[in-house]
Amino acid sequence: MAESILFVCLGNICRSPTAEAVFRGLAEGHGLEIDSAGTSGWHDGGRADPRASAEAARRGSE
């Protein structure tokens, strides 16, 4: 069974997906299952928070 990591925040539109993306880059090649989730359904089906997307783009990742 593979090791897995889950990052969780309230809406899953900024903090947890950002942590997931950063950790994926750091853990590449280690066979980890990495995902993110929210504790509420407020943003179900929504896009990432524009501020989080802007910071990812500024740092060369999207």
Q: Is 15 a catalytic residue?
A: yes
pLDDT digits (tens, 9 = 90+) for 14-53: 889 899 999 998 999 999 999 999 999 888 888 888 998 8
Question: Which of the two residues, 61 and 55, has the higher pLDDT score?
Answer: 55
CATH of 4-58, one of 3.40.50.1100, 3.40.50.10320, 3.40.50.2300, 3.40.50.720: 3.40.50.2300
**Which of these is catalytic: 14, 15, 24, 51?**
15
Which amino acid, residue 17? P
pLDDT over 80 at 62, yes or no: no
Q: Is 9 a catalytic residue?
A: yes
Contact 8, 18 (CB under 8 A): no
Handedness of CA 14, 19, 2, 28 (dihedral sign): positive
User: Looking at residue 56, what is its pLDDT?
Assistant: 85
Whole-model pTM? 0.78
